[in-house]
Each structure stands twice: as structure tokens, then as C-alpha cells.
Structure 1
């Protein structure tokens, strides 16, 4: 998707709790093998303890709105994405975030695309902002994208519920402005997404459909469903699909922005926040063949932030002043289903 005019990323916020969950504690408790801890490459992960997930989104949203210098009352649309339980059944966390922020005019929308939810929500808000009617066309429209997840025990073990990925708690937020304003931190040039529904069974396995959450097991166990899928299919179908998807979304994002992989303006690539071994084996070799840009791994201190990897990547770019004015960066995201996304952002010349 290529916006018809530049969409400004006015600001991006990342909220992480002060609490930490230690890998060494998980190993000592027998929840995590020492070799697996080494493969993950995280000494600790953010642990929100008692913070409700949507409140983490509210915290991040306040950071982003304050940095953008915009009041919540001006928001026209708010999309909230998540991976894991938000605290209530049959309830809309997006409406809660809008209410807590004081955004009565915003349309609250929930986006449930698992780990790729943040990127999907950003694409939705970008497209929604492009539908401004004539009465509103004379002033910029504002949209907010938030994510939040808290991977709380006993239903979820952040260290051992999955292979190759460990999960950190936190909230993210991005303020989008159309048209872009001179002071915006970044410009969103394109959003590319690719899906392969043939892989949905990796997170279903041979389990029967259940009438309620965790009716079959007391804890979310993605390892069990993946083992069941791998016994039938082996690793090759996913390896092939993952490489194809990475190349596809990267090529589409670059083409929509009028760039190529060798464009000297492309200076950085932000990786998803997966375990070190997963990145080394499944992502770095593919990207190293395609681009000369610097590969950035911001996930060692956070782990995988559920739906928030892409938005957290934007927040980290802004905080570090990257890329340099006139240069661009790719931000990757991927999640169960499977779906992959790639955002291309540019730092405006001041």
C-alpha cells in the first residue's frame, strides 16, 4: 500500500514496565533449559506484574501524543491491536483506550492479527485517514495506533510457551497525521503485507476446537501445536514460506516507495523482536542477501512484544534519531497465521 500523499508519523511511544523477569530464574525453576536460554539471547524481559494490558497502551499513547503536541480530543480514529488476553471477556479494549485518553470523537477499532497486529492496525489507520471527506480536507486528520500485551502466568509462560521466541510486556503507540506536517518525526512511505493461510495450522496443530480459552490445557502451549504440525510437514514448508514472504514484502515496500534494495537512501533495517537464534537462522541470511543497510536488533532487552514489534521499532528509530534526514528504513513484523509486514519510513529533510 502506497499512500497517495505522505502520511506523517508525528510521534511514537514505547512504554515498558520497570519489573523484569530473569532468564536465570526460569532456568533455575526448570521452566527453561539453559541451552534454550542461550539461543533466545535475553538476560531478562519486561514484566508488567499487575498492569492491565490496555493501561500499557494508554501509557504509551500519552507519551506519543505529548511528543506530537496533539490532544486526544483531535483523534479521528484509534486502532488497538493485541496478541494475548486483555483482561476481560467479550469486551473492547480499543474503546477502553479511547475513553481513558479522552478521545470521544475517535472511532475505536480492535485489530486481532496476533503478532502482526500492530503493523496491520497501522495499515488500517493509514487507509482510513485517506478517506477524509471534503468538509475535513482543509485540516490534518489524526489517527492513533496502539498495542499492548501482558504475558501473565499461569496461563502464559513468557519463556517457554513458544519455540525461539520469548515474550516481553509493554505498550506501544504511534500518532499518524495526514497530510504530514513539517515537524513530523518520520514519513510513512509504504506498507507491504503478505499472508500465507496454509500455515494457520502451526498454531492449531491437532487440537480440537474448544468451547472456552485454555479448556484443553492450563497454559498456552504453542510448542505443542508446532510439534504436531512439524511431525506431518517437516520444517521445509515454513522455511520456504518465510523466506518468500520476507523477500516479497521488502520488494513491495521498496517498489511502492519508488526505491530499490540498492538505493543509497536505504540505511537501516529493523528486525522483528525474536530470539537470537531464530533471527540468525531465518532472517539475517535472507536480508543480508538483499540489502546493504545496517540491520538493527532492538529486541535483546525487550523480547517479542506481542502485537507491538513494528510500532516499538518505530519508537526506537525516533528515539535514536534514525535514519538520518533524507534516508529511509525498513521495519519488519511477522505473526501467526502467518502474516508478514514491512513498513518503509523516511526521515524528512529539515
Structure 2
């Protein structure tokens, strides 16, 4: 998908206090050998501030930075990977009430870690069709400090972090211009993220915790029995999305200065993503992601704000954002920075 005159006019983030992985080992939460292999230094943890409340804080910063008035916004899209609050309640409208407070549509886009990137694409499409409004507000947030999640052990690929990110998407200029978005899915891989867990009743309704490792163990046992998992290499799926995004942006991979990637252990980041698409660790944001943890859909936008606000990228630089979500689906957005931080 190629885009014209679509911008990130404002970025905002909220990252709570960090807890070191060394402290986690000392407290008995995290295995010392796993910590050593992971390369992860710390993770952002919020004991009490809810995901929607963190989203409000990030959104207020993004709106302020954009300089766009509330009446210019046409919609709010909120993304998350885990539960946000009471069942039958709308976190998107809570965020809307406490930020823009205007009578526009507000909805959740539930696509796991890729939700905010997909929200960006949907926003661009909406702006192309709605001449009356010039901006869309995007938010993403999660808080894993709940009784049914052990952030340290639920996945061998990352440590789940808490936090939020927000972006104002508009036709009026700003921080970065959106050049293109590419996506690719491998739908048979949905079974990998399901394992042998029943679809109904949902696990959370019967008090069962989130445990990705149990699903991995199930498929390893099936493989040992001769039942091959429905597996494609995530890096190959990501490469297809990248090829599409590069073609639509009219640039080559060598034109990309920096890469914003999800937070993952060092081996997972290299083996599943960076190495297959031919990007080095130095081109990414490993030194940042190893400190904050995997903050689901907010991850790469927190990384983008970090690169921009610390002036590691500037006007003319091309930045790639990539994400992956259960399904399996990979997405790539290519941006050109057009402004420096004030």
C-alpha cells in the first residue's frame, strides 16, 4: 500500500518504572541461565495504572505535539493484546472521553502486537475518504500485572512489559511522512498460537493463566509423534511484507537508516527477524528494547519516539517499523522523518 500526504503529526509514550532482570533473578521470578542467554536488562512494570489510563497519558502527549485541535479528529482507534478492563466496556471511549472528548467514533482494533500498525493503515484509508476531518488518534496500551499472567515465564521469546504509545495521523504534516505499508499472513499458523487449548470457554473465564510455553510444548510433542506443525519461518513472512513495502515506497532496503522492531530476546530477534531480512543488530533498537520489555502493540511506536526524540534520526532519514502478530501475520511500515524534535 502506497500513501500520499499521510503523516505522523504527533507521538506520545508512557513507559513506567523499570525492574531489572537481575532483580527478578534474585527474587526467584526469572531463571539466571535464561536471563544470561536473553540479553534482556530490564522491563517496564506498572503495578496499578491500567492500560487505558496509560493510553490517555500517551495520547495527551501526542495531541499536544501535533498541535491539532480536537474538532479536527475524525476517529480514535485503540489497540491492545491483553484485557483492558471490565467485560462489556469500551476502553476506546474511556480514552476518547479523557482526551479529545468529542462525539466521534472510537473502537478497538484487536490484532495483538500488530494492532497499532494496522490502525495506521486504516487511518490512512479513512483520511483519504473523509474530507471533513484531517486527523485520527491512535493509541495502544497493555498492563500484564494481573494474577493470570507471569510476565517472566509465559513466553521464552520475550518478557512482557507494561506501557502505552499514541500517534496522531493527519494530512497536515508533522514528524514523519508515511510512505508505505506491506503486510503478509500465514493463516495456517494460527494453530501454533492455539496449541491444544480449547477455544471455548475462553481460558480467562475459567481462571486459566496465559501460557504460550504450554502451547509450544504441545506442538513439540506432536512433532515428536510425526505430526508436523503448520509452520512457516516468521522471517520469510516478514520478508514478503518488506518487499511489498519497499516496492510501494520506491526505495531499496539499503535506503533504510534505522529499524524499529519488537522487543524480544537476542536470539529470537536475530534468528526470526533481523537476520532473515538482512538487517544488522546495530540498525535496530536493541539497546532500547532490551530495557523496556515487549509492550505488545505499543512496542515499535515507543521505539520510533525514542529514535526521534533522541535525534538518532532526522529529516530525510527512512525508518522501517515491523511487527508480527498471532495468526501469523507480519507488517512493515516505511516512514520518512520530516522534522526534528522541538
Compared CA separation, residues 223 and 291, structure 1 to 2 (3 A): closer
Cα distance, 1:233 vs. partner?
4.4
**TM-score, length of structure 2 as denominator length:** 0.91
User: What pairs with 1:197-346 in structure 2 (closer than 5 Å)?
Assistant: 197-215=187-205, 218-233=208-223, 240-263=232-255, 266-288=256-278, 294-297=283-286, 298-346=288-336
User: Partners in 1 of 2:56 and 2:218 — Cα distance?
Assistant: 38
Structure 1 residue aligned with 2:160 = 167
SS at match of 2:129: coil
User: Partners in 1 of 2:213 and 2:40 — Cα distance?
Assistant: 19
Asked if the contact 2:222–2:228 (Cα under 8 Å) also holds between the matched residues in 1, the reply is no
Structure 2 residue aligned with 1:101 = 99
Asked if the contact 2:235–2:277 (Cα under 8 Å) also holds between the matched residues in 1, the reply is no
Deviates most, 229-238 or 241-250:
229-238
User: Partners in 2 of 1:166 and 1:238 — Cα distance?
Assistant: 25
Compared CA separation, residues 302 and 160, structure 1 to 2 (3 A): same
Q: Is residue 2:181 matched to residue 1:191?
A: yes
Structure 1 residue aligned with 2:25 = 27
Please report the RMSD computed on the Cα atoms of aligned residues, expressed in angstroms. Answer: 2.4
User: What is the number of equivalent residue pairs in this alignment?
Assistant: 337
Structure 1 residue aligned with 2:62 = 64
Structure 2 residue aligned with 1:2 = 2
Deviates most, 242-251 or 306-315:
306-315
Deviates most, 211-220 or 224-233:
211-220
Asked if the contact 2:75–2:106 (Cα under 8 Å) also holds between the matched residues in 1, the reply is yes
Asked if the contact 2:259–2:285 (Cα under 8 Å) also holds between the matched residues in 1, the reply is yes
User: Partners in 2 of 1:26 and 1:224 — Cα distance?
Assistant: 22
Cα distance, 1:106 vs. partner?
2.7
Asked if the contact 1:257–1:344 (Cα under 8 Å) also holds between the matched residues in 2, the reply is yes
User: Partners in 2 of 1:119 and 1:204 — Cα distance?
Assistant: 23
SS at match of 1:193: strand
SS at match of 2:233: helix
User: Partners in 2 of 1:324 and 1:301 — Cα distance?
Assistant: 23
Compared CA separation, residues 186 and 322, structure 1 to 2 (3 A): farther
Structure 2 residue aligned with 1:155 = 148
Cα distance, 1:331 vs. partner?
0.9
- What whole-Å deviation, never above 9, does each CA across 1:265-303 have from its counterpart, x for those lacking one? x21122221122211222232233x68982332311111
User: What pairs with 1:40-189 in structure 2 (closer than 5 Å)?
Assistant: 40-133=38-131, 136=132, 141-178=134-171, 180-181=172-173, 184-189=174-179
Compared CA separation, residues 236 and 210, structure 1 to 2 (3 A): closer
Compared CA separation, residues 349 and 204, structure 1 to 2 (3 A): closer
Cα distance, 1:177 vs. partner?
0.8
User: Partners in 2 of 1:206 and 1:167 — Cα distance?
Assistant: 23
SS at match of 1:214: helix
User: Partners in 2 of 1:230 and 1:344 — Cα distance?
Assistant: 36
User: Partners in 1 of 2:113 and 2:107 — Cα distance?
Assistant: 17
SS at match of 2:246: helix
- What whole-Å deviation, never above 9, does each CA across 1:117-143 have from its counterpart, x for those lacking one? 11111111121111124xx2xxx6011
User: Partners in 2 of 1:102 and 1:285 — Cα distance?
Assistant: 42
Deviates most, 338-347 or 275-284:
275-284
Gaps of 5+ in 2: none
Asked if the contact 1:118–1:310 (Cα under 8 Å) also holds between the matched residues in 2, the reply is no
SS at match of 1:54: helix
User: Partners in 2 of 1:208 and 1:75 — Cα distance?
Assistant: 41
Cα distance, 1:212 vs. partner?
4.1
Asked if the contact 2:192–2:229 (Cα under 8 Å) also holds between the matched residues in 1, the reply is no
Gaps of 5+ in 1: none
Asked if the contact 1:76–1:143 (Cα under 8 Å) also holds between the matched residues in 2, the reply is yes
User: Partners in 2 of 1:205 and 1:93 — Cα distance?
Assistant: 29
**TM-score, length of structure 1 as denominator length:** 0.89
SS at match of 1:162: coil
